[in-house]
Structure 1
Amino acid sequence: MKFFIDTANLDQIREANELGILDGVTTNPSLMAKEGIKGEEAIRQHYKTICEIVEGDISAEVLGTDFSTIVEEGKALAALHPNIVVKVPMIKDGIKAIKWFTDNGIRTNCTLVFSAGQAILAAKAGATYVSPFIGRIDDSGWDGMELIRQISNVYTIQGFNTQILAASIRNANHIISCAEAGANVITSPLDPILGLLKHPLTDIGLAKFLEDAKKM
């Protein structure tokens, strides 16, 4: 399973990359704004900087919601760097644009997916990634992990090549559950990724080793 970090913070991206387990980055306009990055040119330059840090797929999100605007924005984003994957919303014109991108050799990440039906449409259009938002699904009273399992089962049966990119990760247990449910990729803030390092028995064992080492 691939690990992506979901942020626009360069320090966090560098920290995750230095762990040696990072495969890519996802971000969006909200995360960009959180880092004080505003304006088309500043956002595109920030994507270029991220691409210089991480050797892997970098999802760059379009802002348009109609076919022509999505395509024009997507072409401009894809031209920034070979590792850019154009992030497109799960809407009617988004699916049309994903098909256009597929036919023209541009990779895509279909975002804001909340059902297996939406995931099927994204795969049929040729999306490279499909991003179910499991945390938001849990918040609505449904089971986000069950959706991951359902999509994984459908894709296996139908032979779709689209990768399941589990998004809206809230904690380390989410990451483990996504691995069990068949996600190809998770994208997460830094804290849940670092949370995988932690276990109280590890801390106790290390303290005992260090204590014994002092006696040697």
Structure 2
Amino acid sequence: MTQSALDQLKRLTTIVADTGDLNAIQQFRPLDATTNPSLITAAAQQPESRELIEDAYAQAKKEGYELDALVERTIDILTVKLGVEILNIVEGRVSTEVDAALSYNTEETIAKAKELLALYKEYGIDQDRILIKIASTWEGIQAAKVLESEGIHCNLTLLFGLHQAKACADANVTLISPFVGRILDWFKKAENVESYPIEKDPGVLSVKQIYHYYKQHQIKTEVMGASFRSIDQVLGLAGCDLLTVAPGLLEKLNNDQRHVVSQLSLDTELTAQEHQEISKAEFKQQLEADLMAFQLLQSGIDDALLNVVFGITDIVTYILGTIFIVILPGPNSLYVMSIASRFGIKTGYIGALGVFTGDLILILCTVLGAASLLHAFPWLFIILKVVGASYLSYLGIRLLIASIKTWQSKPQTLQTNTSNTASNEQFHPFRTALTISLLNPKAILFYLSFFVQFVDPDYPYPALSFAALSVILQIISMGYLTILIFSGVKLATFFNTRYKIAAGCVACVGLLFCAFGIKLAVSTM
């Protein structure tokens, strides 16, 4: 039976999965895996990741973190948790990336790397199975040098030139990840060509140059080709130490039957240059002289930060933080689910629209500077707190009364009673959900403190920044509330003939609203 190109490639090269998708890793069984914030974000949106998200948030909260520090810590914990899940599948290592915002700060990169490693140790993971992923700036490479001297292994990424590879060799880093596809993209645009034959592909040739340089100088740092655009590029580097490949390309390799041979060997005609340590000045000079490497390194860091998209400074952190916040139990989500279970899908979405409207009003208040107003007049917060707590308690008491009536109803009249109640209340869900949103001062303060963290103060159109943040919030919120609405309808079907159980659940919801009211009443700004 003919082996697939993937199976043949595995005999020549260590295959690494470039994904956080646990299902894909399980399918292709690579030895190692690499992750980055974008991959973590994609993985976090999978339904099976919800428990990991909730656990990560709970742990960060328990450790005493608040607001933006809470979000940052939650993301670190989630990143490590996903790394642990990956290590339960692969036999080798996982690469975990340091925040790109630290790419030009050696000391903070070292500190963040040690924080991540400490989290892995809490989960019983040996540090030899972790590669700390750092951008190949001079500062990042120096951070890796310190970490490697302490036995912490590093993967230097965003590497586009031999000068970066030489500096990484001087730092004795464990592994480098030269990018193939991005180099190809740059040259295609710069030279205005549609494609290159694989033997002239600039990205493939760059990795080959680095690989031969390392082997000819007996440098132990491993070379892992990354950022591929096609399986031809992957197979063009067959024989490289490692290749990190996205699931889509792994699937194509698995379905390809071509014969695969090594494309890298040490009997090269290239004459090796004498290896000498590269100084900071030489590194900077050579980087600036290499326009491709200079532009791609900077754009790679900018892309990771996403600080040029509508003036949003860190969209990955914002998306993850919003996911964490949206799925936390609260009066808004509880109300939408409860009315969907009592009155149906349409009513559930009417309530959800009230929540969305409340969110938009709070965001508008943020844009208009409501934070300064609340801090200038603390009594406004007290008024909001009292009114909000009273309203939640009022809703809770109404639900408790409704639960008593449901308990006393006969099974055959339960549906009729519910329908009559719906006819009396069907025009109120929007107003009620909107009121719950607007009278929650904790939610107000959250918006005022959270949103402003992600808007670049130098961006000339801040309204666009807030609009983009709002759209992201509403998409995530709509997805979550849709799940709750349909869950509520399924519960209604279950409770239709189980009226005493239904009454007990309605009472529990009523008690939760009362509890939210009490919690709000004792809260402080």
**TM-score, normalized by length of structure 1?**
0.85
What runs of 5+ residues in structure 2 fail to find an aligned partner?
1-12, 46-73, 189-201, 259-525
Structure 1, residues 108-154: CA drift from partner, whole Å, max 9, x if none? 10000000111111111011111111000000017001101110121
Which SS does the other structure have where 1:39 is aligned? helix
* Amino acid corresponding to residue 16 of structure 1 in structure 2: F
Q: CA deviation at 1:67?
A: 1.2
Separation (CA, whole Å) in 2 of partners of 1:92 and 1:120: 11
- Kindly indicate whether the alpha-carbon contact (under 8 Å) linking 2:179 and 2:225 is maintained by their aligned counterparts in 1: yes
Q: CA deviation at 1:88?
A: 0.8
Separation (CA, whole Å) in 2 of partners of 1:158 and 1:53: 35
TM alignment of 1:88-127, pairs within 5 A:
88-127=134-173
Which SS does the other structure have where 2:111 is aligned? helix
Question: Corresponding residue for 2:87?
Answer: 51
Separation (CA, whole Å) in 2 of partners of 1:25 and 1:199: 22
Q: CA deviation at 1:200?
A: 7.4
Which SS does the other structure have where 1:186 is aligned? strand
What runs of 5+ residues in structure 1 fail to find an aligned partner?
202-216
* Amino acid corresponding to residue 107 of structure 1 in structure 2: H
Aligned match for 1:3, one of 15, 18, 26? 15
**Higher share of residues assigned helix:** 2
* Amino acid corresponding to residue 188 of structure 1 in structure 2: V
Does 2:224 correspond to 1:165?
A: yes
- Kindly indicate whether the alpha-carbon contact (under 8 Å) linking 1:85 and 1:109 is maintained by their aligned counterparts in 2: yes
Separation (CA, whole Å) in 1 of partners of 2:236 and 2:224: 13
Q: CA deviation at 1:194?
A: 2.3
Aligned match for 1:74, one of 83, 89, 113? 113
Separation (CA, whole Å) in 2 of partners of 1:23 and 1:35: 19
- Kindly indicate whether the alpha-carbon contact (under 8 Å) linking 1:61 and 1:86 is maintained by their aligned counterparts in 2: yes
- Kindly indicate whether the alpha-carbon contact (under 8 Å) linking 1:77 and 1:84 is maintained by their aligned counterparts in 2: no
Separation (CA, whole Å) in 2 of partners of 1:196 and 1:89: 28
**Higher share of residues assigned strand:** 1
Structure 1, residues 62-115: CA drift from partner, whole Å, max 9, x if none? 112211211112122234122111111111211111110111011110000000
Q: CA deviation at 1:198?
A: 2.6
Separation (CA, whole Å) in 1 of partners of 2:156 and 2:75: 23
Question: Corresponding residue for 1:197?
Answer: 254
Question: Corresponding residue for 2:37?
Answer: 29
- Kindly indicate whether the alpha-carbon contact (under 8 Å) linking 1:27 and 1:60 is maintained by their aligned counterparts in 2: yes
Separation (CA, whole Å) in 2 of partners of 1:159 and 1:78: 29
Q: CA deviation at 1:61?
A: 0.5
Q: CA deviation at 1:199?
A: 4.1
Question: Corresponding residue for 1:135?
Answer: 181
Question: Corresponding residue for 1:149?
Answer: 208
Which SS does the other structure have where 1:106 is aligned? coil
> RMSD in angstroms over aligned alpha carbons?
1.7
Does 2:245 correspond to 1:188?
A: yes
- Kindly indicate whether the alpha-carbon contact (under 8 Å) linking 2:79 and 2:96 is maintained by their aligned counterparts in 1: no
- Change beyond 3 A, Cα 1:53–1:197: closer
Question: Corresponding residue for 2:75?
Answer: 39
Greater shift, 67-76 or 112-121, is seen at 67-76
Task: Report which of the two structures shows the higher radius of gyration computed on alpha carbons.
Answer: 2
* Amino acid corresponding to residue 78 of structure 1 in structure 2: L
Separation (CA, whole Å) in 2 of partners of 1:199 and 1:125: 39
Identity of aligned residues (%): 29
* Amino acid corresponding to residue 170 of structure 1 in structure 2: R
Q: CA deviation at 1:58?
A: 0.5
Separation (CA, whole Å) in 2 of partners of 1:88 and 1:40: 15
Separation (CA, whole Å) in 1 of partners of 2:80 and 2:156: 20
* Amino acid corresponding to residue 21 of structure 2 in structure 1: N
Extract structure 1 runs of 4+ deviating beyond 3 A: none
Which SS does the other structure have where 2:20 is aligned? coil
Aligned match for 1:62, one of 85, 98, 112? 98
